[in-house]
A and B are shown apart, each in its own frame.
Chain A
Amino acid sequence: MGTNRKIAITGGLLADPARESAAPGTLLIGGDRILAAGQVDIPSDAERIDAGGLVIAPGLVDLGVFRTDKPAFHFGGITRAALMPDQSMPLDDVGLIREATRKGKPDFWVHPIAAATRGLAGKEMAEIGLMQQAGAKAVATGRQWIADSGVMWRILSYASGLGLTVISHAEDGGLAGKAVATSGETATRLGLASAPACAEAMAIARDLALLRNTGGALHFRLVTTGAGFDLIRAAKAEGLKVSCGVSPSYFMLSDNAVTDYRTFARMSPPLRSEDDRKAVIAAVADGTVDVITSSHDPCGPEDKRLPFADAEPGVAGAETLLALSLNLVRDGHLGITALMRLLAANPARILGVDAGDFTPGSAADIIFIDPDAPWIVDSARMAAAAGNTPFDRMPVQGRVRRLMKGGIFY
């Protein structure tokens, strides 16, 4: 970084999120910024790098992860991640936010998300403004619902004044309670505490009603049910500034995956029915979904080799995020440039960072993707801090061959 050397990446297929489809072209980089993309006159002093026909895409921006796990993020082509405040010490303090922003640099950037309430307890508002000045890029309720509607109303209202997006967890806490599964045949057979899937629509409906009053921007980190997407679809049509994300687990798996008490399939929100799984895909295809996130949360055996209800929720998802998302492209649900909007451009926009696209001036965070390269997910040999993936032994396609962060290859 810091140099003004120019690099021209040629011979690749540009997956520019701003375009309808990928096209051959050149990506011109100056220092740590993008200068131009497309049919570009290459300056004589530019170093030329031949991409050899690979897909050139923005580095992925992962909106809502639980650990800073650089080897896994780099494997998955993720150059920036927004860190959820749910840490051993919740990110509710200026010092913790500042420390988090320094964690991965220079080759990986962490954008911490401020806890909306002190200790994520859902009661008193945390110092959101000061945390924003320290580098927080959004504010989140954490992996839980704020039960008190008055508290949530004030958070949405206050954050709107700061221009910060509020990231909400869409599960009504009263309904979800101690549930570890979605009500239905699987939970009944296994004898697991379960909550009806409408816990999600309940939470979304309330937060949307509040947003209608407060203004500002609201993002639901994970939406997993058809009823939830219906509400978001309607809210977007109405003009509310609302966005939502999904994780590959929810479009790849239904609650069948927890049969035999597989704790690697224990997640929050819990896996849903097959109908809801299909609703996730439909919502991706029709543009209701804005973001695909890994929800990366490596959990070791001490958290996962337990009876199902005692195990921690969470999936080590960073390494499989791109390959599993490419399934949506291969199945014809969306094009690769649209996928890059979900994986890079939209999350960057929600966080308010100049990255995730090929706009001149944007950060030169670039990945080279071999979209068809086959590999097999192996939970025993992952780059992540732990191998808790529900996709163990699954053959997938799509590998990141090179990764550039801020104009430098790593």
Chain B
Amino acid sequence: MPSGTVESPPSTLVGRNLFPHRHLLGIAPLKPWEIRFLLDQAEHWVGINRSGTRKHDDRLKGLTQINAFFENSTRTLLSFEIAGKRLGADVVNMHAAQSSVKKGETLIDTAVTLNAMRADVIVIRHGSSGAVQLIADKVDCPVLNAGDGWHEHPTQALLDALTIRRRRGYIEGQIVTICGDVLHSRVARSNMLSLAALGAQVRVVAPPTLMPAEVECMGATPYTSFDAALDGADVVMMLRIQNERMDGGFIPSTREYHRLYGLTPERLALAKPDVLVMHPGPMNRGVEIDSAVADHPDHSAITEQVEMGVAVRMACLDVLTRGRRGVEGWS
């Protein structure tokens, strides 16, 4: 899509029409104004979360939120748990990754079980692309995708967009460079879709072995030279490089990767002077990002991303449960 243009909603929307989706499975099914609606909703929760010590809002009181994580996670699980609790939901965590539930084996059965327990909203992370949709098709309540394989991680993309929008005031026309293991990254996929939909100029940069084929279809322009991709960038988003990719399979070594694709202070100077540095965490300091950059008081927005994560997840939980809570116009 041409940069700098953002589709507008067909008419003035109210109630359910603002977000006519039962689940949040990815960014791909969302219209630009639906993404903006979720960001606007999240702004409210940023304010509440920052106001004093009592952050409780009991609109989800009596509702059961199950966090079913089939893949290990610390920060995303914590973020969803805090979001649910701040809204007053009864939050239950299911650590399927540590139990006997093996990959795929009993997924449909697990979905049926969760459904029978009358969950009101289910948050799912799974290691296989498409697995969350598979479960969503089998349950009666809203499902939130907290990451499925290499496919999508929509709340991460929303919190990243919110972070950029709050820092910059707008997303349209911003040059955003996403660097790292794009091939295996659901964060990259969701971000490419969301930022392109919101009118940013998205660049992706990776060694060719870690770049998906025909990545242009996601609304991004591919680069192999990090320096070229950084030229004039407003935002640099670094991706975590997994240890298992660095054994010579996709890239020769950690030190070579750092030399070619690590974000150093020298390299960051190629971007705009007020460039924003982001990372979905957890970081490999000294590999994809230098500490001097990650901790830079002006450039780094990394801790802010974590903060926005809670607000975005509160917004998503609120919006997706409006139908069952009988909110006017949302049934």
**Residues of chain A at the chain B interface (Cβ within 8 Å):** 183-185, 187-194, 196, 260-261, 301, 305-310
Q: Are A191 and B214 in contact (CB under 8 A)?
A: no
> Is B217 in contact with chain A by the CB < 8 A criterion?
yes
Q: Are B217 and A189 in contact (CB under 8 A)?
A: yes
The interface size bin for chain B is 20 to 34
Q: Are A191 and B108 in contact (CB under 8 A)?
A: no
Q: If A189-B28, A191-B152 touch, does A310 touch B214 (CB 8 Å cutoff)?
A: no
CB nearest neighbor in A for B217: A185
Q: Are B150 and A191 in contact (CB under 8 A)?
A: yes
For residue A257, give the distance in angstroms from its CB to the closest CB of chain B: 14
Q: Are B129 and A310 in contact (CB under 8 A)?
A: no
Q: Are B130 and A261 in contact (CB under 8 A)?
A: yes
Residue contacts A-B, CB under 8 angstroms, 15 given: A188-B217, A189-B218, A190-B129, A191-B186, A192-B150, A260-B133, A305-B108, A306-B104, A307-B103, A307-B131, A308-B128, A308-B129, A309-B149, A310-B103, A310-B128
Q: If A189-B218, A191-B152, A261-B134 touch, does A307 touch B126 (CB 8 Å cutoff)?
A: yes
Q: Flag B119-156 by CB within 8 Å of A: 1 or 0 each.
A: 00000001011110110000000000000111110000
Complex CA distance for A193 and B126, rounded to whole angstroms: 15
Q: Are B213 and A309 in contact (CB under 8 A)?
A: no
A189 surroundings in chain B (CB, below 8 A): 28, 189, 217-218
The 5 closest A-B pairs by CB, nearest first: A191-B150, A307-B128, A261-B130, A310-B104, A191-B151
B130 surroundings in chain A (CB, below 8 A): 190, 261, 307-309
Complex CA distance for A106 and B129, rounded to whole angstroms: 46
- Chain A-chain B contacts (Cβ-Cβ < 8 Å), number: 67
Q: Are A190 and B151 in contact (CB under 8 A)?
A: yes
For residue B187, give the distance in angstroms from its CB to the closest CB of chain A: 11
Q: Are B214 and A184 in contact (CB under 8 A)?
A: yes
> Is B246 in contact with chain A by the CB < 8 A criterion?
no
For residue A163, give the distance in angstroms from its CB to the closest CB of chain B: 43
Q: Are B104 and A191 in contact (CB under 8 A)?
A: no
B133 surroundings in chain A (CB, below 8 A): 260-261
Q: If A191-B189, A192-B150 touch, does A184 touch B213 (CB 8 Å cutoff)?
A: yes
> Is B212 in contact with chain A by the CB < 8 A criterion?
yes
For residue A278, give the distance in angstroms from its CB to the closest CB of chain B: 18
Q: If A306-B104, A307-B149 touch, does A192 touch B213 (CB 8 Å cutoff)?
A: no
A307 surroundings in chain B (CB, below 8 A): 103-104, 107, 126, 128-131, 134, 149
CB nearest neighbor in A for B132: A307
For residue A227, give the distance in angstroms from its CB to the closest CB of chain B: 16
For residue B9, give the distance in angstroms from its CB to the closest CB of chain A: 24
